[in-house]
Amino acid sequence: MPAEAKADSKNARPAPGASTPAARSGTAHTRPHSLSRPASPPLTERQEARRRRILHASAQLASRGGFDAVQMREVAESSQVALGTLYRYFPSKVHLLVATMQDQLAHMHGTLRKKPPAGDTAAERVAETLMRAFRALQREPHLADAMVRALTFADRSVSPEVDQVSRQTTVIILDAMGLDDPTSAQLSAVRVIEHTWHSALITWLSGRASIAQVKIDIETVCRLIDLTDPSER
């Protein structure tokens, strides 16, 4: 882990509006109506606007130069907040970049809802959805690399932010499947699909997989959806 990432992740302080830590076992993959968990009091309009500026600045810096380009002091200056205020929202660069990934996924989700996937089966719709999300990240390779590296460096102190990324990905997949009340088997399939998607992103970023291979891997793993469909039994 880079020295800055190590230093930033130590002595983490709770961020305004951040959800409370929870055990990873089972909490990141629950049914859609219970995907959110008890959180701190909601941010005020001014606090939310400040948080949006911080995330925007983080994404802009990462887009230009990747993980190393995101320096907390520069983020503070770009978002017009005091450095101490930035650390109250995001205790480290890793916290910030993982939150940036969740924000990017939320934006993608909004775009996908405006233009839903057109596949005939749930497996086809999920594969199309994940490839659209992948291509969105492909257009910003430095940003994608920065966010994935942050996920890789994340320790227990970043669990709430990592869980938010996982829940957002779960919701995107379940929406594509058209499910409001998935079975435990279907949620297990979603977890495997998520792992494959993230792994495919890492191998592509490292130059060890082509886009064509990523597409094949995603389409292959999405066939698990058919195996867990109760109506097919």
Cβ pair 72, 93 in contact under 8 A:
yes
Instruction: Confirm if 90 and 190 have CB atoms less than 8 A apart.
Output: no
Distance CA 217, CA 154 (A): 26
Distance in angstroms (rounded) separating the CA atoms of residues 14 and 69 = 24
Calculate mean pLDDT across residues 37-51.
80
Q: Helix H segments across 115-158? A: 122-138, 141-153
Q: Are 180 and 30 in contact (CB under 8 A)?
A: no
List phi, psi (to 5°) of 19.
-75, 155
Name the band, by pLDDT with cuts 50, 70 and 90, for residue 50: very high
Supply the DSSP symbol for 202: H
- b vs e for 54-80, b when ≥16 Cβ sit within 10 Å of the residue's Cβ? bbebbbebbbeebbebbebeebbebbe
Per residue in 91-141, pLDDT (tens digit) is 999 999 999 999 999 999 999 999 999 889 999 999 999 999 999 989 999
Integer angstrom CA distances of residue 100 from 12, 94, 143: 17, 10, 9
DSSP β-bridge partners for residue 19: 39
Q: Which of 92, 99, 67 has the alpha carbon at shortest distance from 165?
A: 99
In single-letter form, the type of residue at position 171 comes to V
- What pLDDT is stored for residue 28 in this prediction? 38
Tokens of 157: 């102190």
> How large is the average pLDDT for residues 193-210?
93
Distance CA 54, CA 23 (A): 28
Exposure on the CB side of residue 85, measured as CA atoms within 13 A = 13
Instruction: Look at residues 230, 200, 190, 140 and name the one whose alpha carbon lies nearest to residue 35.
Output: 190
Q: Are 200 and 127 in contact (CB under 8 A)?
A: no
The pLDDT score that the predictor gives to residue 169 is 95
CA-CA distances (angstroms) from residue 196 to 23, 114, 136, 166?
22, 25, 17, 13
Predicted pLDDT at 216: 96
| Range 214-233 average pLDDT | 88
Over the stretch 148-185, which tens digit does the pLDDT of each residue have? 999 999 999 999 999 999 999 999 999 999 998 999 99
What global pTM score does this model have?
0.78
